[in-house]
Amino acid sequence: MQKTYLQAIAAALQEEMRRDDKILIFGEDVAEFGNIFGVTRGMLEEFGPKRVRNTSISETAIVGTALGAAVTGLRPVAELMYADFTMVAFTEIFHCVAKWRFMHGEDYKLPLVIRCAMGSSFGAGAEHSNCVESLFMHAPGMTVICPTTPADAKGLLKSAIRSDNPILFCEHKQLYQTKGEVPEDDYTIPIGVADVKRPGKDVTVIAVGLMVRRALEAAKLLEKEGISVEVIDPRTIVPFDKETVFQSVRKTHHVVIAEESNKTAGIGAELAAMLQEEMYDELDGPVGRVAALDVPMPYNIAMEKHVIPDANRIAAAVRTQLAREH
């Protein structure tokens, strides 16, 4: 069945809440208003005010409450509205949520999902447009998920809710209205397993979030030039599925990484270092990186588009990789 990314996330929440009455949702405007994007619309009416709760505008309080709920055996899904505001609750997420299972022993469970909308969004500006995945790669104990398709979003959110580990679930705002086929039966997608979105033989493009769609657009452009691009969607940033990437690199021997995070110390920087350390003999050249410029996101939409990579920039990076052979 065709669903939007937003509908798929809503369906995952509803199905899991019907399955397990320990699951609850809370955050800013998630009840009567149904979330700023409409993800939780209608859930207050179905599940009631004890399981769908509005909170004050305090990310520290939202995460702290979710942490307490998880410790007592509930399965909270806390919404921080925008990923930018994870920084307000950084101490709670980094020092408590990520670490407590390790600090208190393997029998200690922390089933907590933090949902947040991330990324550029048509002129939302510097404080509402950040991608934070790379920051939480530095928080051992935290799982970081960034689905791209409606089917992946639904399957991975259901897996996240059923997990006994704390998870940051990042949803790109520009993907909410994209459509795709979503299975009607109950299904989950394993956490930590990448997906080859397009097979190819000349270059491996590892793309995250919105950049998966743009990498697929770039692959179509390059196909007209006789260049075969393999596009890999990690889906989960932490833990990262190295083996799927390594299998691809053994075939293509060229890699480009596309992300919307800033280039400096971003996801691509870590993956490039990993590939250099573990796959050096398979690479026919340095790893290419395409990322957002290292500037605060402008309000001006034309400038925003200049900051964020598009299909043409990804295609240009692929051509550069192949040109190094000659």
The active-site residue out of 95, 104, 128, 254 is 128
Q: Could you write out the DSSP letters of every residue in 212-243? A: HHHHHHHHHHHHTTT--EEEEE-SEEES--HH
- Worst-scoring range by mean pLDDT, 80-84, 111-115, 200-204? 80-84
Percent of the residues in the chain that have a pLDDT greater than 90, as a whole number: 86
What average pLDDT score do residues 121-137 get?
A: 86
What is the pTM for the complete model shown?
0.95
Task: Identify whether 128 is a catalytic site residue.
Answer: yes
Q: What is the percent of the chain with per-residue pLDDT over 70, rounded to a whole number? A: 99
Q: For 159-188, what is the mean pLDDT?
A: 96
Predicted pLDDT of residue 325: 64
Task: Kindly report, residue by residue over 178-223, the tens digit of the pLDDT.
Answer: 999 999 999 999 999 999 999 999 999 999 999 999 999 999 999 9
Q: What is the pLDDT of residue 300?
A: 87
DSSP 314: H
Q: Structural domains in the chain?
A: 2-181 (3.40.50.970), 195-323 (3.40.50.920)
Q: What is the pLDDT of residues 221-279, one digit of tens each?
A: 999 999 999 999 999 999 999 999 999 999 999 999 999 999 999 999 999 999 999 99
CB neighbour list of residue 233: distance below 8 Å, 6 or more residues apart = 148, 152, 194, 195, 196, 197, 207, 208, 212
- Mean pLDDT score across all residues of the chain: 95
Structure confidence at residue 10 as a pLDDT band (50, 70, 90): very high
Res 293 pLDDT > 90: yes
Specify the pLDDT at position 204. 98
pLDDT (0 to 100) of residue 191: 98
Mean pLDDT of 78-88: 93
Q: State the pLDDT at residue 122.
A: 78
181/186 Cα distance (integer angstroms): 14
Only one residue has tokens 């796959």, namely: 279
Burial class of residue 32 in the structure, from the number of CB atoms within 10 Å of its CB (0-12 exposed, 13-18 middle, 19+ buried)? exposed
